[in-house]
């Protein structure tokens, strides 16, 4: 059986002991660098050469078994949100995923294939491709004898200049649930601005979302397929203070734009069926 070190690719993939002594992978391409922890198959960094990181990481994050990592790209499966007596956002982000394969194709990209430890009812594969963009593809296969229902989400935290100055575009006309008010609305504005805690689940939203950031002079593009839900979140002041693994003032410099299938768009697979969620992250000068 291969060890993690056996998956190293000289000059491309390096295995090292990360924070909390958790195993991690550093990925290098001619365009970008990335960092991924085996714990949760959690992407904790993606940065274009010479650029500012695209992903936000909390300086207060836990890096311990049994604790979720705060920031980057948590993998949410098989449920989104809370479940009484169970881990919030499911168990995938708390599991140590198997690293099945690392590849360095001739196009210069690096591909890492993770798999959730084997279950009787389903198989979950996660392929991360690092190149000029960051591409993540989460595939769930029903390997059981009965229908299997679940939710998925790539809960991406983005690094921004200042939350009050950014705009999120691409959701005008889309119906959403305001989780703070418990009410449904339709997005009227061409862009979303932030002046308070925001927690919205946009449904029937399959298009690309843009994060326009005048301070960092860039637009982050979040393109996706196999996704009907988009979550937009910022904890603002009071919730930030209540979160032990998040700095009190860090809300200023992050926003979550999450791609998945949650709530009314939870997926049900018949035996033998599979479903894939694919998200690509890029940035352009503003």
Q: How far apart are CA 235 and CA 252, in angstroms?
A: 10
Answer whether residue 21 is part of any domain. Answer: yes
- Residue 18 contacts residue 3 (beta carbons within 8 Å): no
Who contacts 161 (Cβ-Cβ below 8 Å, separation ≥6)?
A: 213, 214, 215, 216, 253
- Residue 129 contacts residue 135 (beta carbons within 8 Å): yes
| Structural domain boundaries enclosing 85 | 4-161+223-285
The per-residue pLDDT string of the chain (286 residues; one tens digit each, 9 = 90 and over) reads 789 999 999 999 999 999 999 999 999 999 999 999 999 999 999 999 999 999 999 999 999 999 999 999 999 999 999 888 888 899 999 999 999 999 999 999 999 999 999 778 999 999 999 999 999 999 999 999 999 999 999 999 999 999 999 999 999 999 999 999 999 999 999 999 999 999 999 999 999 999 999 999 999 999 999 999 999 999 999 999 999 999 999 999 999 999 999 999 999 999 999 999 999 999 999 9
pLDDT at 84: 80
What CATH number does residue 234 fall under? 2.70.98.10
Answer whether residue 174 is part of any domain. Answer: no
pLDDT at 178: 98
* pTM across the whole model: 0.97
Please measure the distance between the N-terminal and C-terminal CA atoms of the chain and give it in whole angstroms.
Answer: 47
CA geometry: angle 19, 20, 25, nearest 5 deg? 45
Q: How far apart are CA 220 and CA 88, in angstroms?
A: 28
Q: How far apart are CA 180 and CA 269, in angstroms?
A: 31
pLDDT at 118: 78
Answer whether residue 196 is part of any domain. Answer: no
Per-residue CA distances from 87 to 68, 76, 210 (Å)? 10, 11, 31
Q: How far apart are CA 250 and CA 240, in angstroms?
A: 8
pLDDT at 86: 83
Residue with the two structure tokens 């001739």: 106
Q: Following CA atoms 255, 164, 227, 129 in sequence, which dihedral angle do they give, to the nearest 10 degrees? A: -50
pLDDT at 87: 85
Answer whether residue 194 is part of any domain. Answer: no
Residue with the two structure tokens 């979720």: 68
Answer whether residue 138 is part of any domain. Answer: yes
Answer whether residue 207 is part of any domain. Answer: no
SS3 240: helix
Strands 274-285 vs 134-142: parallel, antiparallel or unpaired: antiparallel
How many folded domains does the chain comprise?
A: 1
The token pair at 188 is 């009227």
Answer whether residue 140 is part of any domain. Answer: yes
Answer whether residue 171 is part of any domain. Answer: no
- Spell 73-100 as b/e; 16+ CB within 10 A means b: bbbbbbbbeeeeeeeebbebbbbbbbbe
């Amino acid at each position: 059986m291969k060890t993690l070190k056996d998956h190293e690719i000289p000059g491309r993939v390096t295995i090292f002991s990360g924070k909390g002594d958790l195993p991690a992978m550093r990925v290098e391409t001619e365009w970008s660098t990335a960092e991924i922890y085996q714990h949760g198959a959690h992407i904790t960094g993606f940065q274009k050469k010479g650029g500012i990181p695209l992903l936000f990481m909390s300086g207060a994050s836990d890096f311990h078994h049994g604790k979720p990592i705060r920031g980057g790209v948590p993998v949410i499966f098989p449920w989104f949100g809370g479940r009484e007596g169970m881990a919030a956002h499911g168990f995938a982000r708390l599991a140590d995923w198997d690293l099945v394969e690392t590849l360095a194709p001739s196009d210069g990209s690096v591909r890492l294939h993770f798999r959730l430890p084997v279950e009787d009812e389903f198989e979950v594969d996660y392929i991360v491709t690092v190149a000029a963009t960051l591409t993540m593809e989460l595939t769930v296969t029903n390997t059981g004898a009965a229908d299997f229902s679940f939710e998925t989400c790539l809960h991406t935290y983005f690094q921004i200049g200042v939350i009050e100055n950014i705009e999120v575009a691409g959701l005008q006309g889309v119906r959403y649930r305001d989780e703070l008010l418990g009410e449904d609305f339709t997005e009227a504005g061409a862009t979303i601005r932030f002046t308070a805690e925001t927690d919205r689940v946009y449904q029937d939203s399959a298009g690309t979302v843009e994060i326009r950031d005048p301070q960092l002079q860039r637009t982050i593009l979040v393109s996706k397929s196999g996704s009907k839900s988009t979550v937009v979140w910022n904890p603002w002041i009071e919730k930030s203070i209540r979160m032990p693994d998040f700095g009190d003032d860090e809300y200023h410099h992050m926003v979550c734009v999450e791609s998945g299938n949650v709530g009314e768009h939870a997926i049900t697979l018949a035996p033998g069926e599979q479903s894939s969620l694919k998200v690509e992250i890029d940035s352009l000068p503003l």
